[in-house]
Amino acid sequence: MEFLVPLVILIFSAMLHEVMHGVVANRLGDPTAKLMGRLTLNPIPHLDPMMSILLPALLVLSGSPVIFGAAKPVPVNPIHFRDPKKDMALTALAGPLTNVFLAVFTAQIIKLIPSGADPLWGGALSSFLYLVVLYNLMLAIINLIPIPPLDGSKVVAAIMPDDLAKSYLSIQQFGIFILFFLLLFPIGDFSLGRLISNLIFFSINLLGI
């Protein structure tokens, strides 16, 4: 159960992240995700065997301080956008902002649980909701890192000249390896994993839980 609960939270949080990419893209003129049946809360179309199940499972079982997972990316075709660079950035931001909203909303629910609640249900519920906050903050922060193809890179690309943005985004096929390298191997005094952990727990303290 200790393994299954974090995995389920990650899968559904990543799924909502991707659905909101599609919802915003659809509102901005790109119906691709809608036409492909990806604007659904059914988790099956969103599952990626590697990123949704195997990777987070390995990280949980290994005791990694940073747990990361992702749903299958929602297809977006910027050719349908009126302002491709700006609308792509807004579409990209929709995912992390959804995770931030879920974290903030869940934190407020935790505060409503009476301090004298029965430990059996009150404690278990608080622990579950705390994990929802923790993993949604983790998803939001990691996805905002400006390494292609993470969402943060789409935002950075929106403020770059077209040629530079194209070159920058072209490294996305190597991006996941760059991310894992930075997570696993500190560079001097800089540790991306430690930075992410500090930002998560700073955010948790800010939420007052």
Q: What is the SS3 string spanning 39-100?
A: CCCCCHHHCCHHHHHHHHHHHHHCCCCCCCCCCCCCCCCHHHCCCHHHHHHHHHHHHHHHHH
Lowest mean pLDDT among 39-43, 152-156, 169-173, 183-187: 183-187
pLDDT for residue 54: 82
- Percent residues over pLDDT 90 in the chain: 67
Phi then psi for residue 187, to 5 deg, are: -110, 105
pLDDT score, position 18: 96
Provide the pLDDT for residue 5: 87
Who wins on pLDDT, 180 or 199? 199
Who has greater pLDDT, 65 or 175?
175
Domain total of the chain: 1
Give the pLDDT band of residue 61 (cuts 50, 70, 90): confident
Range of the domain at 121: 4-207
